[in-house]
Structures are given as structure tokens and as C-alpha cells.
């Protein structure tokens, strides 16, 4: 590990020098890549420096404990040894996590797809509430949240919602939200007060750039049609809605939220690229060939990753055994307790895998 860390420090120092060179400054593209690499290495370098500082302090405290004849000084040194040892172990663990290869998609924006599953009208109502929950979370993170497509139900719910979220490391935080989310509550239409169980599915796709996914125009069938549903005077009068069909894969994306056909086509292309990139990644990783199906499931209640119980004001994540009795706050976008715990859990799993591989 130390050899690898020394190499990182060396590369960081090289980049520090390069970033001030006129040649690099005059090349915006190359400068941007170098600056990004410099930022990514900086956290590791600073943590490594802190680790070395603690090692030096620990050695000094140990020497004082071993050589001092003053019992009071030895006791002070012993207490400092305990404190420094605990700090060193924590820093060592953090360093190991930083050295674990990161997901290349972590820096990307996401396409968030939410669909009503089992539960009829109640599932569509919960789907709409979940879109609001993620919008509030995005607002707290200072991310940009844009609804690309919304297929509404007759009672104000949502059959399907497709959202674009842009910001800093969006995918790294939201990727573990994929799966079946189950809700348990008494519907407004339930006169007897009986609790119903419904479910919705969430899929989190890293947004693919044009350079990531090349789409041959010959592989696309583009259909235009009149928008339906709310939208004002342009509804059913102009062919602004767009349907893209990727012929080699059969992937279909429809978009009609904008009055402009051009804007609907741009939004549809962003969703299509994300879905095609996911298909390509599945081909490259046979062990994860059913990633989307396992991520989303069928929408059946038995496949849930998280349960929202309104009567008990409780949210439970079944993957990590975490339960919080603050459902009202969670639905207002306070997702950090779950997201932070999931990130820590999967980082620990990566560490274990790295240790086994080593």
C-alpha cells in the first residue's frame, strides 16, 4: 500500500507543476483532464500526509512512554498513545477506502426512472410522492432536477416518471436507490381503515455522454405524434411528441412534455443513450447481465429493498437492516441517513473483496 501511495504523491506533485505550465493552460481540454485528476488525487495525498503525521506523533509518544522515569509523564504518554492509535486506525481505514477503485460512473449525472408497480391507484400516488421526495433531496444537495417525462394517472398519481438529475457526484449517492420500494398505509379511499401494501420501482441510470455511446442515425426510427394530456393549446394540434426506436436493440423512448419537437427529441436522446450504455455494460459484465432486472425487479412487493410504513412513521432498508422512525422527514428529502449508510456498507464490501483478492 505504501508503494502505491508514494506513486500517487509523485503523480500529484507532477500534476501540480504541469497545471502551471503555459502549454497546458493553452489547451483547455487537456487542462481540464489534468485538473480533474489533480483534484481526485488531492484527497488521497492529504489523507496520506495526515496518516504519516499520526505515525510520527505515535512514535514520539511511544518513545516518551518507554524512556521517561516520571510516572505522571508516562501516564500522559499512555493516554496520548491510546488516542493516537485510534486516530491512526481510523485514518488507515479511510486511506484503504480511498485506494479502492472507484466506480467510473460515480461522477455522472443520472436518469432516474420511477414506475408504479403492484397496488393500482395507490402505487401511482406513491410514485408521485417518491418523485417529490427525490426532488427535495436534490434541492438539499444543490443539484438540478428536471422532469423529462411524466405519465399521470387519473387521480393525480404517476404511472411513470423519468427525471434528469445533474450535479456533483450524483450517481455515487443515488445508485443504491435502485430497486422496489414498498409502501404500507391506509389509502384515502379505504373506508374501513385497512392498511394496503403497494410498490413502485426505481431505476438509477448514469447519464451517457455522446462520446460514451455512439448512435448511428441509420439505427434510429423517429416517429412524431400529437401530445396527449395536459399541455395547453398545442395538445392534439401539433406533432411535437417524439418516439425514438433503436432498431438493433428494440429500445423505445417517448417524450412529449415539451411543446417543441426539437426539445422532446433532445430529451429522448439523453434517456436513450443512458439505456443503451446500460445494455452495453451488461454485455461486458456477464455476471451482471440481469443488472436492470435485479435492480428494478417486476414491481412485486416481495422484492422490496425498502419499506415505508406510514402508520408507524417508519422506514426500513432491508439490505442493511437500518430502520428509522422519521418517515415524515424522509419524505421531505432527508435521505442522508440511508444513503450514507448504504455507501459505507458497499465500500466495506469492496474492501473485503480487495483483501480477498490480495
**Out of 12-26, 125-139, 237-251, 328-342, least confident range:** 237-251
Asked if residue 1 lies in contact with residue 40, where contact means CB atoms within 8 angstroms, the answer is no
Q: Give the span between the Cα atoms of 150 and 339, in whole angstroms.
A: 25
**Quick check: 163 pLDDT over 90?**
yes
Protein fold of 2-99: Methane Monooxygenase Hydroxylase; Chain G, domain 1 (1.20.58)
Secondary structure letter of residue 299 according to DSSP: S
Largest CA distance in the chain: 94
**Quick check: 287 pLDDT over 80?**
no
**3-class DSSP state of 54:** helix
* Average pLDDT value over all residues in the chain: 85
Q: For domain 110-209+288-357, which CATH number applies: 3.30.70.1660, 3.30.70.1560, 3.40.50.10420, 3.40.190.290? A: 3.30.70.1660
Q: How many helices (H) and strands (E) does the chain have?
A: 10, 11
What pLDDT is stored for residue 237 in this prediction?
56
Q: Give the span between the Cα atoms of 271 and 208, in whole angstroms.
A: 8
Give domain limits for the chain. Answer: 2-99, 110-209+288-357, 217-284
Protein fold of 217-284: Double Stranded RNA Binding Domain (3.30.160)
Query: Would you say the pTM of this structure is higher than 0.85?
Result: no
Most confident of 122-136, 192-206, 235-249: 122-136
Phi, psi of 57 (to 5 degrees): -65, -40
Q: Give the span between the Cα atoms of 226 and 45, in whole angstroms.
A: 56
Q: Which of 91, 177, 126 is nearest to 309 (CA)?
A: 126
Same fold flag, 2-99 and 217-284: no
Give the C-alpha distances (Å, rounded to integers) separating 69 from 64, 65, 77, 140, 274.
Answer: 9, 9, 12, 56, 68
Task: For residue 232, count CB atoms less than 10 angstroms from its CB and return exposed for 0-12, middle for 13-18, buried for 19 or more.
Answer: exposed
Angle between helices 2-18 and 28-67 (to 10 degrees): 140
Amino acid at each position: 500500500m505504501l508503494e502505491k501511495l508514494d506513486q500517487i504523491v509523485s503523480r500529484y506533485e507532477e500534476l501540480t507543476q504541469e497545471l502551471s505550465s503555459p502549454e497546458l493552460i493553452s489547451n483547455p481540454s487537456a487542462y481540464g483532464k489534468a485538473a480533474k485528476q489533480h483534484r481526485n488525487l488531492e484527497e488521497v495525498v492529504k489523507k496520506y500526509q495526515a496518516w504519516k503525521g499520526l505515525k510520527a506523533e505515535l512514535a514520539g509518544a511511544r518513545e516518551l512512554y518507554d524512556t521517561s522515569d516520571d510516572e505522571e509523564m508516562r501516564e500522559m504518554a499512555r493516554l496520548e498513545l491510546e488516542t493516537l492509535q485510534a486516530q491512526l486506525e481510523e485514518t488507515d481505514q479511510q486511506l484503504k477506502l480511498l485506494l479502492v477503485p472507484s466506480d467510473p460512473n460515480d461522477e455522472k449525472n443520472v436518469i432516474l426512472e420511477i414506475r408504479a408497480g403492484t397496488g393500482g391507484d395507490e402505487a401511482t400516488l406513491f410514485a408521485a410522492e417518491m418523485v417529490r421526495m427525490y426532488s427535495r433531496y436534490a434541492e438539499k444537495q444543490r443539484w438540478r432536477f428536471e422532469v423529462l417525462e411524466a405519465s399521470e394517472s387519473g387521480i393525480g398519481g404517476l404511472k411513470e416518471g423519468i427525471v434528469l438529475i445533474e450535479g456533483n457526484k450524483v450517481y455515487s449517492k443515488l445508485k443504491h436507490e435502485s430497486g422496489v420500494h414498498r409502501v404500507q398505509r391506509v389509502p384515502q379511499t379505504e373506508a374501513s381503515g385497512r392498511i394496503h401494501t403497494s410498490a413502485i420501482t426505481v431505476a438509477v441510470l448514469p447519464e451517457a455522454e455522446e462520446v460514451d455511446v455512439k448512435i448511428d442515425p441509420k439505427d434510429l426510427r423517429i416517429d412524431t405524434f400529437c401530445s396527449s394530456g395536459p399541455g395547453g393549446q398545442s395538445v392534439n394540434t401539433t406533432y411535437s411528441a417524439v418516439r425514438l426506436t433503436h432498431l438493433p436493440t428494440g429500445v423505445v423512448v417517448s417524450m412529449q412534455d415539451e411543446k417543441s419537437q426539437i426539445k422532446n427529441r433532445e430529451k429522448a436522446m439523453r434517456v436513450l443513450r443512458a439505456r443503451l450504455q446500460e445494455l452495453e455494460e451488461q454485455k461486458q459484465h456477464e455476471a451482471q447481465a440481469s443488472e436492470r432486472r435485479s435492480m428494478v425487479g417486476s414491481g412485486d412487493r416481495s422484492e422490496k429493498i425498502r419499506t415505508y410504513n406510514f402508520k408507524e412513521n417508519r422506514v426500513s432498508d432491508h439490505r442493511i437492516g437500518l430502520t428509522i422512525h422519521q418517515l415524515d422527514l424522509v419524505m421531505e428529502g432527508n435521505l442522508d441517513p440511508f444513503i450514507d449508510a448504504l455507501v459505507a456498507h458497499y465500500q466495506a464490501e469492496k474492501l473485503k473483496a480487495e483483501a480477498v483478492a490480495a
